């Protein structure tokens, strides 16, 4: 799985993850989400190593929706 949990675009041209949850908070949240999703689907959801360095190659086909708060820029 690949998740971006929180990013700020307030400054510069790259997102910052400075205010994102730390590993000790985000890992249990991720695991709980996967457990609840598996229960809701009635089957095991595949997972990987949280926070792993990944080399990803893909072809995007379709639109992407990014929600941005234009007042707070976060």
Active-site residue, from 2, 18, 65, 70: 2
C-alpha distances in Å from residue 1, one per residue of 4, 33, 47, 68 = 10, 12, 6, 23
C-beta separation of 2 from 54 below 8 A: yes
3 is known as an active-site residue: yes
Active-site residue, from 4, 18, 65, 70: 4
18 is known as an active-site residue: no
2 is known as an active-site residue: yes
List active site positions. 2-4
């Amino acid at each position: 799985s690949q998740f971006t949990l929180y990013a700020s675009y307030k400054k510069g041209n790259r997102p910052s993850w400075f205010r994102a949850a730390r590993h000790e908070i985000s890992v249990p949240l991720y695991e709980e989400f996967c457990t609840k999703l598996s229960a809701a689907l009635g089957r095991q959801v595949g997972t990987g190593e949280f926070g792993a360095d990944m080399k990803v190659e893909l072809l995007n086909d379709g639109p992407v929706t990014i929600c941005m708060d234009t007042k707070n820029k976060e």
